[in-house]
Structure 1
Amino acid sequence: MPRSFREHVDEEILEGAASLFAQHGFAQTSLQAVADAVGLSKAGLLHHFPTKDALFTAAQDVVRVQSERVHGMVADLPPGQARDRRALELLVDIALDRPGLVALALGPLSHPDTSDPKTGDIAGDGGRIFEIFALDPQTGDPERLVRVMGALSALAVLSLAANRAGERTGWRPHIVATCLDALGYHHAARPETEHGKA
């Protein structure tokens, strides 16, 4: 079912807002900055989202829905390389389409801001991002925790870079391979290059 114009505009607003929240935190992101980033007047932005809290909550909801969707698609797979690969492929696809939302979701993994409770704990929302990788961050193996956090941080940074470089399709297999390397699956199905295997 095709999206309505309003749904498309709301998605663009949420993507722009999420990117700013991820970069500057909730407290330091103004509605005017969001409006400027998405090409609306402040009044136009308020027509879609009546408050900054409503805007942030909507972005959190999108992150939660996407996390739950990915978790649902891998939950039946046993922990291990096949599950991790599938999870990374799904997360990379989301990140390439919605880099701001992924940056908001994964930002606290690399730079938690305890002074900004809104953006400081979004990834901790039920630990869903860790459940995707069959990991309990409180009791799980510390090496596995570090590897998952490293893979997710690489995913976020590389997806943003791919979008900025206009290389979403070309970089996708390399991002997945890099994240698999971070998880300890060295050279697990490296992408083909025009010169043969990478």
Structure 2
Amino acid sequence: MARPFRQQADEEILDRAAALFAQHGFAQTTLKSVADAVGLSKAGLLHHFPNKEALYEAAHEVAREQGKRVLDRLAALPPGPERDVRALDLLTDIALDRPGLVALAFRAVTAPDAEPALAAEDMFVSSIFGVDLGEGSDARPERLVRVIGALSALAVLTLAANHRGEKTTWRPLIVATCTAALGHGRAAPLTSPQDQVEA
């Protein structure tokens, strides 16, 4: 019966560690800072993950798995507005549940020169939105800027929603904002259910 608790604890550790790795990079993130973030001693953290490298790789592996799931769910949709909106729906749900993992996955976009050895996440972002984010890419500048803008907005807004405890209320607003950033207009009205007046 302790197994589900262990898995939940590992998921929380990975998400908090991913957020720290995304913010500070591998070299500047310490086991102590991760342990402090999850309320464990350093020794307690080492019962879950044997070292910082294992923690870092596990966080990236979970981010890659999430990216693969999103790509699998988008496989039937051709490039275009419908695929973009569906991708934003899926990414928003993940980001609201696991903000650290999304921040780590988006690091390929927000800090591409930071740790180029782990560019698998860049591939997923490129595949999801059909745009090459690499240096020297021939992507249309407008599409590139819109994708980076939408992902940046997604990351910041989902972090803010988590911090404020407004995940449910903010979700449709986040998707609509990111959809507009991609140039597709609004996917949903930019009002929350609480803002709407009944007739």
Tell me, yes or no, whether TM beats 0.5.
yes
Q: What code does the residue aligned with 2:186 have? A: H
The one-letter code of the counterpart of 2:125 is I
**Distance (whole Å) between structure 2 residues aligned to residue 195 and residue 179 of structure 1:** 21
C-alpha separation in 2, matches of 1:100 and 1:82: 27
Alignment of 1:46-125 (within 5 A): 46-114=46-114, 117=115, 120=116, 122=118, 124-125=120-121
1:144-159 equivalences under 5 Å are: 144-159=143-158
Gaps of 5+ in 2: none
Match of 1:39 in 2: 39
Higher mean Cα deviation, 57-66 or 4-13?
4-13
Q: Distance in 2 between matches of 1:75 and 1:142?
A: 25
Judging changes above 3 Å, is the alpha-carbon distance between structure 1 residues 177 and 9 closer, same or farther for their aligned structure 2 residues?
A: same
The question of whether the paired residues in 2 share the 8 Å contact of 1:106 and 1:123 is answered with no
The structure 1 segments of at least 4 consecutive aligned residues displaced by more than 4 Å after TM superposition are: 120-124
Which residue number in structure 2 is paired with residue 136 of structure 1? 132
Secondary structure at 1:4's aligned position in 2? helix
- Name the structure 2 match of 1:11: 11
Give SS of 1:27's match. Answer: helix
- Matched with 1:183 is 182
- Check if 1:195 corresponds to 2:199: no
Q: Extract unaligned runs of 5+ from structure 1.
A: none
RMSD (Å), alpha carbons: 1.8
Q: Which residue of structure 2 aligns with residue 127 of structure 1?
A: 123
Are 1:161 and 2:160 an aligned pair? yes
C-alpha distance in structure 2 between counterparts of 1:72 and 1:123, whole Å: 19
Q: Aligned in 2, Cα 1:94/1:10: closer, same or farther, shift over 3 Å?
A: same
Deviation at 1:7, TM superposition (A): 0.7
SS of 2:27 mapped into structure 1? coil
Percent of aligned pairs with the same amino acid: 61
Conservation of the 8 A alpha-carbon contact between 2:109 and 2:148 = yes
Aligned residues: 190
Judge conservation of contact 1:105–1:122 (CA < 8 Å) in 2.
no
Give 1:23 deviation, angstroms: 1.4
Measured at CA, do residues 132 and 12 of structure 1 come closer, stay the same or move farther in structure 2, by a change above 3 Å? Answer: same
